[in-house]
Structure 1
Amino acid sequence: MAQEPEVPDAAIVARVIGGDRQAYGQLVQRYQRRLRSVLSFYCLSPDEVEEFVQDAFVQAYAHLSGYRPESPFFPWLKTIALNALRMEIRRRDTEGRHGRAYLQYLLAQRMDEDEKGEAAEARAEALRGCLSDLQPEHARLLEARYREGRPVEELARREQISLTAMKVRLFRLREALRDCIERHRVPAIGRAEGA
């Protein structure tokens, strides 16, 4: 069965501007996963990633009249998302929050250095490849801890190992991922900042 050709982004935007609000859902479906991957390198929690993804699509929808149809949609959307994230990080920094806010400030600096977000996309691609090389149970463990935010204690109970053993296992898995990403010649997040 022949697959239908993908409708160009500019055609979808034209339909939305013309009054077909439902058509915008096609752009959301097309790009939400990719945008989530980019933002996951700059946000510290999955909830923040989701919040910025949703906000980016809302802002893009509100400003569709500013979209240039001769340009690809995703870079425009990504710029909206990264600018919103930059503003939020700077807002938090000016409020004087420490610790987590400082880390976000460092990430904002990295974003400024990587204006187009191409390095983030390359890191996301390398991370996906490295995760797929892991044993499935190790990938599930990392997913539970870092995507779902499960406590280390809960994971240790689930795996029936000591808390210390779980911490060591997570550390070794992070190191394995970092080494894999470095083999792909993509700088791992945190290395430049001395983490």
Structure 2
Amino acid sequence: MDGGVYGSGVFRGDVVNADLIVRKVLAGEIDAFGAIIREYQGTVWAIVACMLRDRSATEDIVQQVFVNAYTKLDQYRAGADFEKWLKGIARNAVRFELRRRVRESLRLKQHQDHLLDLMANEARADEHDATLREVVEACVESLSSSSKEALDLRYRQQMDFGQIAVKLGRTVEATRQVLFRIRDALRECADSKLAKT
């Protein structure tokens, strides 16, 4: 043999000598980590699949477990049970994923509750706006034709007081007072009708 991953006592029968592979990977033989993946992938898969019960997520988490193990390889103590160390990383990765799911679920629930509140408020506002519009229309209809004309000139045609005064044949001050009284009458009418609803 050439002394690669499969030679030099790295394997003892079918069992990986994890300490030797870890030393090789830490010494720069990155490809040696593939032997660890091949040896422990089934074990890691079983742990993750049992805890998650979601095939797609299991694939992602198993991959993440080996990435985490690789980046933490310098924390592994030679002579320790490598499989136990790797299982701990797997369990932690699953716990992290489950916490992330709970947070995401809570975030979605809060977002959903917020949207429902907004929709309910909007519906109430629309209902209130419709009621208010009906009340204002009824109050405007109860005005005299000259008062309706003054309102039309000011708010629909957006004329200033001087233009309205000329149109109605009044002084500017008299026009302001008329419009002020009309607004007061509309406010009182609307308040009265809204109090009844």
Range class of TM-score, shorter chain: 0.3 to 0.5
Q: Which has the higher helix share?
A: 2
TM-score (norm 2): 0.45
TM-score (norm 1): 0.45
- The higher radius of gyration belongs to 2
> Which fold has the larger relative contact order, with Cα–Cα distance below 8 Å and residues 6 or more apart in sequence?
1
